[in-house]
Amino acid sequence: MSAGIALLLGLSLVAAPEAPAAVELPAARVAGGMALDQALAKRRSVRQLSPEASLTQAQLAQLCWAAQGVVDAKGHRTAPSARATYPLELLVLVSRVDGVAPGLYRYLPEGHRLESRAAGDLRDRLVDEAIGQRWIKDAPAVFALVWEPARSESLGARAERLAMIEVGLAAENLLLEVTSLGLGATFVGGFEPDKTRQVLGLAEGAQPAAILPVGKPVSSKPASP
């Protein structure tokens, strides 16, 4: 497929000719990890991330599942959704994840896998064109929660309000998982929606609602002698 041909499925993103292959993610852990009370107490916004550290595939899988993963045979997800409409999409801009080529991916909850959308590290474009917070470039993975209004039409006038509530629920799930994994992240809401839509290759109606850069925190403790 040549560059510039729009994909009419899913988010109507434009795939680059060298788009990386789809990624089958490791199964998510559903037991163990940090206790919820401890994660709630430890969660903080972290903006100082290591520019060299990478994430593992297992960490990436756990984070995707925490935000939008399927939890039962009926298709229910980790975050509640009004009338089970599930109008959110989770995108991941990968830079440094072991075994995953840099690129833009869409998380597919039903198959717990990543669908490739475009190749290459898009963090510079996202920051320079749409956000302006340069520290985000240190994050090995940047998550984006996107609202697809067409999926919420049955909710009428309440659709946008309920969708934004769902964004908050999914984002908090991800942030608590970040804490449980010993990582750092921040909820970023200060971005240009139209420019973000362009960088992410979204269709006209789709609305980016939250950006969450994730990585390894830079320790404030002095190095051991």
d(CA 135, CA 57): 23
Mean pLDDT of each 10-residue bin along the chain, 225 residues long: 39 49 91 95 97 97 98 97 97 97 96 96 96 96 98 96 98 98 97 96 95 90 43
Strands (E), the chain: 23-24, 88-94, 103-108, 113-119, 141-147, 184-185, 207-215
Domain range annotation of the chain: 23-215
CATH topology for 23-215? NADH Oxidase (3.40.109)
pLDDT in the model for residue 44: 96
pLDDT in the model for residue 201: 96
Helix ranges (H only) for 105-149 are 123-125
156-164 CB contacts, 8 Å cutoff, 24+ apart: 158/82, 159/87, 162/82, 163/87, 163/88, 163/209, 164/209
pLDDT in the model for residue 204: 87
User: The whole model's pTM is what?
Assistant: 0.89
Q: Pick from 156, 176, 180: which is nearest to 168 by CA?
A: 176
Question: Which residues, other chains included, contact 36 with Cβ-Cβ below 8 Å and sequence gap of 6+?
Answer: 176
Give the strand pairing for 113-119 and 141-147: unpaired
Q: Taking a C-beta distance cutoff of 8 angstroms, is the pair 169, 80 a contact?
A: yes
Q: What is the DSSP letter of 52?
A: S
Q: What are phi and psi of 185, to 5 degrees?
A: -160, 170
pLDDT in the model for residue 219: 76
Q: Pick from 9, 203, 3: which is nearest to 115 by CA?
A: 9
